[in-house]
Every structure is written in C-alpha cells, then in structure tokens.
A and B are shown apart, each in its own frame.
Chain A
Amino acid sequence: MLGAADHGWDPEAPAEPIIAAHHVTRRYGSFEALRGLDLEVIRGTIFGFVGPSGAGKTTAVRLLTGSQRPTSGSVTVFGSPPATFTPAQRARIGYMPQLSILYPQLSLKQNLSFVASLYGIPLPSRRRRLKSVLDFVELTPHRRKRLRDTSGGMQRRLALAAALVHDPQLLFLDEPTAGIDPVLRRKFWQRFLELREDGRTLFITTQYVGEAANCDRIGVIVDGQLLAVDTAEGLRRRAYGGQILDLVAQKRLAEETVDDLTALDSVFDAEWTRVDGRALRVIVDQAGTAIPLLQQWFATRGMELRSVREHIPELDDVFVKLVQAERS
C-alpha cells in the first residue's frame, strides 16, 4: 500500500545488522537507565523490545535514534553513530514516540504536512504521501478534524502515519499500541507486518508481551538490563529449558514415573500437573522427536496415554519466568 522503501534496500541482499549496540550504558546523574546493552537488528525484520514500564525501552530508542547519546559504549545505525547522522541518513529513519507529540490546534492533515515538511518533502509529492499514509492508517475521512477533537486511538494512528510519511527504511515505534483497544492493536500489528513485507525494518517497544509473538526477534529488558535476545521460541526454551509436552494417561501412573522419565536423555525435566497421578508436564529438547519416543516408552511399560501434545506457553508467562529467574 505504501510502496517499497526507496532507500537502496535490496531484498536479495544478505542479512546484515542495520542496528548494532555494543556495551551501551546511559546514566542520568547517578541513575543508570541502561546497562551494557548489546543487540543487533537484522534488516527487513521486526525487533520487539519488551519490558515493563521504566525498564529502559524509551531510553534505548532515544539512543538508537540519536536524540540522546550513550554515556558509554557504541551505537551504530546504518553503520554510523546516530548522533552524527547527516540529514540524508536521518531521512531513512521513522520515529513514533511514546506520547502524542503533535499539535492539538492543527488538523490531522496539517500535523502530517508539518512532519512531512520537516523531512523536506516538496508540496506535490507531499500531497501524494499524505493521501497514501492517511489511507494506510484509515484516517482519510477524519483528516480535517483537529487533533484535540480526535480519540486516543486516532492520535496513535496519526503518530504512526507521521512516522511513515517520508517513507523511511527503518522505523522506531515506541510503545505504539499503549493505551489502545485490542481491535485497533491487532490492526496496528497487521500494518507492522505489512511494513515488514514491504522490506522495512521495525524496532518496536511494548509492555504487552503477547504482542511480541509477531516479532522476528525479541529483546527482554528489565531494570535497564537486557536479559535475553531471541526468537519467541528461543525465549520459551530459555525460560523453560526446552520444549514442553503435556501427557495425560488413561490410568493413574506409578509414582516413580517422574524419576524414570527424567533419567531419559531426551527428557530434561518432568513434573505432575494433577493430583490424580494421570497428568504430567515434560520438558524435552525437541517436541517433534520426543513425542514418538515417549509414546513408545509408555507403551513398553504397559501404560496407555490418552493424549500427548506440545504446550506452547504464553509469552507473558515466558517473560515472568525469565524475570523471576534473573531476579532470583
């Protein structure tokens, strides 16, 4: 809908980090907002930055966009430190701040036109871009309304349109779905996935851990410290130590079953999940290969399984488990 980014991006190019941060620390006085941040974001992907409020997500975004400088460590975006970006390099970045930063007295279109002017877009092409992004965020019917007369959801959509108005290659979206309803949140993520399909790279912060399932890679940050960077699956594995299988037997199992199971090479852990002695949760390396092995193991012992299925934990649970592990 928006057209492919026109900033020299080649979809056939090998995956390379578009953002790289090494040992980045940022202090405000004696308060350390960010400690030893290390991360890389690959071109053409969505990177989710997940953490509770005050974890340091916005600070990280500010350092990556160049609006602030790190106290120590190095940040490169497009191969250069953001604080030294040329105007041309800045034009490759789109930024959606956490809060509405536009002007209440101006209409949605006037606000958008102002942002487009900041990026030096001349009037004829600006009109086309405004129409395109307003359509993209479904605000065209409301374009003449003053910002102050619009809902919070509309204001967030306008902020997204403002981040896209100059057709950037890399987008920093700071809590884009904060405070909006689930329907609109889903629409936002559909848009983000469309943008990724267009070849853009997205760096998205959120406190809604479940949303991060849409991301190619997720960074978990707590108290200014990055706990893990991985795919959603990788994070689950980190949190639980492997993949999870839920087993339900036809009859009550012997008490030593748990110990016998954990003695197997392919089983990392096992625990009862019901008091009736018929249900078990087992942590394995690979669910796909472990299921036939376990079915066979139970069968050889004369125990019949009613069901064996992989349990995929919610990312919220994964996040909590990682945080608890870190804090303990």
Chain B
Amino acid sequence: MRRAWPWAIRISAFPRKELIEIVRQPLLVLALVLGPFLILFLFGATLRDSPPAVRVIFVAPPDSPIRDEIERFGQGRAVGAKLIIEDVTGNEDAALAQLQAGDVDLVAVFPGSAAEAIRANQRATIAIYHNRLDPVETEAITVFTLRLVDEANQRVLAGLIGQVQAETVPVRERAATAVDRLTALREALERAQERVADPELLSQPLQQVRELERTLSEVKEALLRFGELSPDVVVSPFVGATEQANRVTIRLADFYAPAAVALLLQHLVVTFVALSIVRDEQLGATELFRVAPLSPFEALLGRYLAYLAIGGVIGGTVIALLVYALGMPMLGSWMLLAIVVAALLLASIGIGLLIALVSKSDSQAVQYAMIVLLASIFFSGFLLTLDRFTPPLPVIAQLLPVTYGIELLRDVMLRGRSVDQIRLQELLGMGGALFVLSFALSQWRMRRA
C-alpha cells in the first residue's frame, strides 16, 4: 500500500486541505449554502406572478362623447386589476404633472375630435405618455399600450355593433309584421285561387308573394340572430389560452432558480480555485510543491477533486433546499442532475485555473473572476435569451460554462426530460480542454522557473 499508492495520497492532500480550510470558516459555509438559498427564497416569496397594476389617467375633452365610454370602461375595473384608472379628466397638463411626480404610470390622451375623425373614415390617435427609464419596462408599456388601444378599438366596435343591434330591433319588428301580413295575403290568395274559374290567373302573384314572404322571413331570422350575438364576441371572436407542454406551472422564481444555481456554482468555483492557487503562489506553497515529489499533474488533479467535492456538496445542498424547502420543480432524474453539475464544475474549475495562471495577486484574480461573472450574467442566457443577440455574441456565450449549465439544468429540473447530449458533451469537452490547457500552462511555467 505504502509503495503502491503514494500518488493517491499526494492527490488526496488537496481535497482534505481545502475542505478543512472551508469547514474551519463556518460563516463562509453558511454564506455559501444559506446565502443563495435565502436570496432565491426572498426572490420567490416576494416576486409577483404578474406585473403590478398600471395607474392611468385618461384625458378627454369634457364634451367628448368618448368620455362616457372611458368612464364606463373604468367602472368595470376593480382596484388590483392590471389597470387602475386614477382619473378621467380634461386637463392634460395636470395629468402630465402627476405623471412627472410619479403619482401615475401612464397618461392616455384621447383626441377631442375622435368621433369626427372616425366618422370621416380616419383613425384617431391616442397619445400615451410614460415616465419609465428601464427599456424592458418601456417595452412592457408599449405592449400594454397596444393592448389598451386594441381594447379601446374593440369597445368602440362593440359599442357600434350594440348600437346597430339596437337599431335593427324596429326593423326586425317591422319585418315580422310584414311577414305576418304577407302570410295573411298569401293565405287569402290561396283561398281566392281555389274559388276562381281560372286559377292560373293568380298563380304568378301568389308565387311572388310566397318568395317575398320567404325572403322577409329570412331577413327577420337574420336580424334576430344578429341581435342575439354578443358585441364582444363579434369584435373579438377568438381568445388565446397558453399552457406548458409538460403541464407544469412554472413560476418566475422557478424559471430563474436553475440559472441562479448554475451561476452560483460557476462563480463560486472560479473564485475559489483562482484565489486558492494565487494564494499558494503568494504564500510560497507552490515552491514547496515543486520541491516535494508532487507532479504538476497530481497537484492539478488534487485541486480538481477538491473543488468538484466542494462544489458538489454546496450545489447539491442548495438544489435540495430549493426543491424540498421552496417547492421548486425537479422533474428530471437526480443522477442526470449530478452529471450536469459535475460537468459544469469541471469546466468552471478550468476557468478558475486559467485566471490563476494569468493573475499575479489575489485582487487581480478577484477582478478577473468578477469579469467572468458579469459576462455570465449578461451573455449566458441568465437575463436575456441568447436569441436576442446578434453574432458574434452567441458564439462568445458558448465559451462560458454557465451558458451550458443554465440550459442543461433547466432541461433536467423544469422540463424533466433527458438533456441535449451534444450540449452535455460540449460542456464536458470544454472541461477536458481546459484541464489539458491548464496542465500545459503549469508545466510551461514550471520549465520557465
């Protein structure tokens, strides 16, 4: 044993040392495990499933016929719904001042001549003012505005249809009366035809009355059916209903949880590895490693095992807390999840090693790790889907382990299906390539010493 396994003993020195160093800092352990859990807990517990209601002031001239429509529109909205009508006013300046003061989110200004414009076969413009800086929120307000205008159009149309329906009631009644009279006329003609000597004389008029009676009956029925139609259905006959293909409700916090775990693990491992190696270099421990019978390969392997173990324990604990304590979905296999986490850690350790090899101090290592973190937040699909970016950014994103990690963890946890094998192999390949590169660089540095 003593002769056969000294390399195993040398390699195992690193996981043991790193674990002791971490365990000896209980606050660090708490921060590593409970920190992400509490952040996600707060995120999930306080995040609204839908955006907050938009507070709006409608501006329309007092004598405008559209004002009644707006007021009716507002009466149908309860507080807490997506739209809160704070006021309907004719004072545009006062409304805009309230917008500037942040008392409302939107001011919708209807043109005074809307009715005239519509009657003149022209579109009337509703001006929507907002005071948001966030482009995402601005986009949301644009969508909301489109929906609002769409709804306004629908209401106008529905109103018109209701008006027309109301106007068709007397027509329908007159048609019914006419049909009744035609029926009586047709019956009288039929009786007369039986009595006259030459029935052929009445055949043609009788035929015309029958056709007229049938046509008027059809008109009456059509008007009846039209009058029974809901104006809302007429203007908007279709509604959309969305549902997850795997029939699981994914909350916003659930969606972000796998990405947050992937980001946490990558950042944790990158920072730990980089700092550990740079500190060894600064302490002078690397010099001891060079004098000892420890090969660069053994030292590298030792560090990989150390951070696979540490990252695995932290990742496993955080995911278990998310699933069992916060009820986040875990639809796939735990074994597959473990493989994905291991592959993510493997590649992240490689990034940490590269940072350590180019850093001359621990503050430099921290800076590089922060740059990787920032790149990961913006380019990995964590905030925005990669489809939103133009080349070459999607290609750059593929150099970040977290890009694969987010995708694969979402597949396992939220879709519950087998992961994309090619993506998993790419991540493992990246980890392997970084291992070889780190080994080559550390050998090169050793030869330069």
| Cross-chain contact A97 with B21 (CB below 8 angstroms) | no
Is A87 an interface residue when CB atoms closer than 8 A count as contact?
yes
| Shortest Cβ distance from residue B301 to the other chain A in the assembled complex, whole angstroms | 13
| Cross-chain contact B285 with A120 (CB below 8 angstroms) | no
User: Which residues of B lie under 8 Å from residue A115 when comparing CB positions?
Assistant: 288, 292
Closest B residue to A126 by beta carbon equals B9
Question: How far is A121 from B285 in the complex, measured between Cα atoms in Å?
Answer: 18
| Shortest Cβ distance from residue B5 to the other chain A in the assembled complex, whole angstroms | 7
| Cross-chain contact B284 with A120 (CB below 8 angstroms) | no
User: Which residues of A lie under 8 Å from residue B24 when comparing CB positions?
Assistant: 105-106, 146
| Cross-chain contact B9 with A117 (CB below 8 angstroms) | yes
Most buried by A among B13, B287, B294: B287
Also in contact, A117 and B21, with CB within 8 A (given A87-B295, A102-B285): no
| Shortest Cβ distance from residue A18 to the other chain B in the assembled complex, whole angstroms | 16
Is B7 an interface residue when CB atoms closer than 8 A count as contact?
yes
Also in contact, A93 and B9, with CB within 8 A (given A114-B17, A125-B2, A146-B24): no
B292 touches which of A102, A113, A119, A172 (Cβ 8 Å): A119
Enumerate A101-139 residues with CB–CB distance to B below 8 Å. Answer: 101-103, 105-106, 110, 113-115, 117-122, 125
Question: How far is A67 from B1 in the complex, measured between Cα atoms in Å?
Answer: 29
| Shortest Cβ distance from residue A150 to the other chain B in the assembled complex, whole angstroms | 15
Question: How far is A98 from B1 in the complex, measured between Cα atoms in Å?
Answer: 34
Question: How far is A149 from B285 in the complex, measured between Cα atoms in Å?
Answer: 19
Contact digits for A161-174, partner B, Cβ 8 Å, 1 yes 0 no: 01000000000100
Is A13 an interface residue when CB atoms closer than 8 A count as contact?
no
Enumerate A283-319 residues with CB–CB distance to B below 8 Å. Answer: none
| Cross-chain contact A90 with B291 (CB below 8 angstroms) | yes
| Cross-chain contact B17 with A87 (CB below 8 angstroms) | no
Is B118 an interface residue when CB atoms closer than 8 A count as contact?
no
| Cross-chain contact B288 with A95 (CB below 8 angstroms) | yes
Enumerate B15-37 residues with CB–CB distance to A below 8 Å. Answer: 16-17, 20-21, 24-25
Question: How far is A278 from B344 in the complex, measured between Cα atoms in Å?
Answer: 87
Question: How far is A69 from B290 in the complex, measured between Cα atoms in Å?
Answer: 12
User: Which residues of B lie under 8 Å from residue A146 when comparing CB positions?
Assistant: 24
Is B293 an interface residue when CB atoms closer than 8 A count as contact?
yes
User: Which residues of A lie under 8 Å from residue B447 when comparing CB positions?
Assistant: 69
Question: How far is A66 from B5 in the complex, measured between Cα atoms in Å?
Answer: 24
| Cross-chain contact A97 with B287 (CB below 8 angstroms) | yes
Is A99 an interface residue when CB atoms closer than 8 A count as contact?
yes
| Cross-chain contact A114 with B13 (CB below 8 angstroms) | yes
Is A53 an interface residue when CB atoms closer than 8 A count as contact?
no
| Shortest Cβ distance from residue B391 to the other chain A in the assembled complex, whole angstroms | 43
Closest B residue to A172 by beta carbon equals B291
Is A91 an interface residue when CB atoms closer than 8 A count as contact?
yes
| Cross-chain contact A121 with B20 (CB below 8 angstroms) | no
Is A88 an interface residue when CB atoms closer than 8 A count as contact?
yes
- Closest 4 A/B residue pairs (Cβ): A120-B6, A87-B293, A117-B13, A90-B293
Q: Which residues of B contact A (CB under 8 A)?
A: 1-2, 5-7, 9-10, 12-13, 16-17, 20-21, 24-25, 283-285, 287-295, 447, 449
| 7 A-B pairs whose Cβ atoms sit less than 8 Å apart in the complex | A62-B287, A65-B290, A66-B291, A67-B290, A114-B16, A120-B5, A125-B2
